[in-house]
A and B are shown apart, each in its own frame.
Chain A
Amino acid sequence: MKKKIELGISLMPEGAFLQAVLPLFASGDVDVVEWSFDTFPKYERVPDWIKGMLQEFGDAGKLLGHGVYYSVFNALWSEQQQAWLDRAKLATQQHSYTHISEHFGFMSSDNYHASFPLPISLSKVALEVGKDRLKRLADAVQLPVGIENLAFSFSKKDVFEQGVFIDKLLEVVDGFILLDLHNIYCQAHNFGVEILELVELYPLEKVKEIHLSGGSWQESIYRKEQVRRDTHDGKVPKILMDVLPKVLAKCPHVEFVILERLGHTFSSPESVKQYQNDFYQIKSIIDNTPERIVGNWGKPFEFETEPVNSKSLYQEQILLAQMLKTNSVADIKKSNRFEYWNVSDWDVAMVDTAKQISDKWSD
């Protein structure tokens, strides 16, 4: 079956966001919506207008679920992860989601309210942990599940391996890739690689969904070039609009393109106009893209009752989070306490950036 690629937006609860997107909904130009069901502590606290969206778009088969806090690569199965799965299952019972996606990586702390996501290097142990978590997710929600590429890596090697890693991870559930082009842009800029070169390192036949967003620049004392951050607070870079048609052409089964922007970042009428202009520019590109063959996602699988755990990897995950809080960039770079990461390959500017974020968000 062939169908036109659908354009949607990621829902945010703020009034300013609603005001920015209302003309788009009123005109009927939003084909699909995406909702991060784990961002509200209780469903009862979700604003009524969002509940209405979830119901109506869900009933029409136009609702995508996108998780933030599952922590796929947390190497020691936690109560928080089980609670997250229970919540994901409940969300899929409350509304009709088409699929559920999550991010590559793991959270820096069991206290997810005071942590941030970190990348992980490809290893047999990490892969087994990730496969186990992905199977548990697919079993809980009984829907196709996917993984989104991250915007941040410590090393160029990890950047080049992320596509392979995600490919191996998805095999176990026949899952899909959520290809975030702004994340690709961040990696491409931060490590001096061409965007399309990175895109082609992913198994593009597995791309079902694409994300687009804006971001920001951060100065670094470790290099002349700024670091690109995926902050979801600005316009979509022109270079991404330019490559989007080429990327779409390379993804035979892509079904959805989602525009992301944090709801509290509409600080002026100009920022609203910019967001809406981005939306219609993407729509124009999609309207000029041929229909796609709908892919088949998901397959039967079995998994053990007991979660896959790795105490050694978990200890290193904790160590990494701790060192980002307490140690200098130089200390981290010369550390020989890691087996699952090759610290000597790490880019000092990226280590420094991770430290800054850790300082801001860790307890």
Chain B
Amino acid sequence: MKISKLLLATLIASSMACGETPKAEENGATPFTAVKGKDVPTMTNCTIPPPEVPAPLTPGNDSLTPPPAPRHSDPEGCPACGMG
């Protein structure tokens, strides 16, 4: 599905806040339409503090893959309920 230019701009801005896209820009292409599977930004310049984007609570499905997220006992607190 073709997404709107506005949404694409939002995605690019959010992604850029967490990385850089040197290869694509060197090629003269827009950062995220250059080559499928290539020119992917890295996390090297990420400046967004993790608490603003809570870790996902989505587990795998095997009954054995609980959420890789902080819980009540974790220092950073549980993102599901706010308790620390």
Residues in chain A near residue B58, CB distance under 8 A:
10, 12, 36, 39, 68, 262
Evaluate contact between A14 and B80: CB separation under 8 angstroms.
no
Interface code A352-363, partner B: CB below 8 Å = 1, 0 otherwise? 011001001101
Of A48, A280, A357, which contacts B64 at CB under 8 A? A357
Residues in chain B near residue A60, CB distance under 8 A:
1
Evaluate contact between A353 and B15: CB separation under 8 angstroms.
no
Evaluate contact between B10 and A26: CB separation under 8 angstroms.
no
Evaluate contact between A363 and B72: CB separation under 8 angstroms.
yes
B21 to chain A, nearest CB (A): 9
A115 to chain B, nearest CB (A): 8
B15 to chain A, nearest CB (A): 5
Give A111 to B72 CA distance when docked, in angstroms. 10
Determine whether A192 belongs to the interface, using a CB cutoff of 8 Å to chain B.
no
Which residues does B use to contact A, with CB under 8 Å?
1-4, 6-8, 10-12, 14-15, 17-19, 30, 32-43, 46, 48, 53-68, 71-73, 78-82
Give A113 to B79 CA distance when docked, in angstroms. 9
Residues in chain B near residue A56, CB distance under 8 A:
3-4, 7
Q: Which residue of A lies closest to B18 (CB)?
A: A15
Size of interface on A: residues with Cβ below 8 Å to B: 79
Evaluate contact between A113 and B71: CB separation under 8 angstroms.
yes
Give A146 to B4 CA distance when docked, in angstroms. 30
- Of all A-B residue pairs in the complex, the 4 with the closest CB atoms, nearest first, are A151-B62, A15-B18, A230-B62, A152-B63
Give A211 to B46 CA distance when docked, in angstroms. 31
Of B15, B53, B61, which contacts A148 at CB under 8 A? B61
Give A143 to B77 CA distance when docked, in angstroms. 34
Given A15-B14, A18-B11, A151-B61, answer yes or no on A113-B36 (Cβ-Cβ < 8 Å): no
Evaluate contact between A272 and B40: CB separation under 8 angstroms.
yes
Given A15-B15, A22-B32, A52-B7, answer yes or no on A183-B62 (Cβ-Cβ < 8 Å): yes
Residues in chain B near residue A114, CB distance under 8 A:
71-73
Evaluate contact between A180 and B1: CB separation under 8 angstroms.
no
Interface centre among B1, B12, B19 (most CB of A within 10 A): B1
- Give 5 pairs: A residue, B residue, CB < 8 Å, sorted on A: A15-B43, A24-B36, A41-B81, A151-B64, A361-B66
Determine whether A20 belongs to the interface, using a CB cutoff of 8 Å to chain B.
yes
Which residues does A use to contact B, with CB under 8 Å?
10, 12-16, 18-20, 22-32, 36, 38-41, 45, 47-49, 52-53, 56-57, 60, 62, 68-69, 103, 105, 111-119, 148, 150-152, 180, 182-183, 186, 211, 213, 215, 229-232, 260, 262-264, 269, 272-273, 276-277, 280, 353-354, 357, 360-361, 363
Evaluate contact between A23 and B39: CB separation under 8 angstroms.
yes
Give A115 to B79 CA distance when docked, in angstroms. 15
Of A15, A53, A211, which contacts B48 at CB under 8 A? A15
A233 to chain B, nearest CB (A): 8
Give A263 to B80 CA distance when docked, in angstroms. 17
Residues in chain B near residue A116, CB distance under 8 A:
59, 63-64, 66
A268 to chain B, nearest CB (A): 9
Given A114-B71, A116-B64, A151-B60, answer yes or no on A276-B37 (Cβ-Cβ < 8 Å): yes
Give A290 to B51 CA distance when docked, in angstroms. 45
Evaluate contact between B66 and A13: CB separation under 8 angstroms.
no
Given A269-B40, A273-B37, A363-B73, answer yes or no on A25-B61 (Cβ-Cβ < 8 Å): no
Residues in chain B near residue A14, CB distance under 8 A:
53, 55-56
Evaluate contact between A49 and B10: CB separation under 8 angstroms.
yes
Interface centre among A113, A151, A263 (most CB of B within 10 A): A113
Residues in chain A near residue B56, CB distance under 8 A:
12-14, 36, 39, 262-264
Give A25 to B14 CA distance when docked, in angstroms. 14
Given A114-B72, A180-B61, A229-B64, answer yes or no on A15-B4 (Cβ-Cβ < 8 Å): no
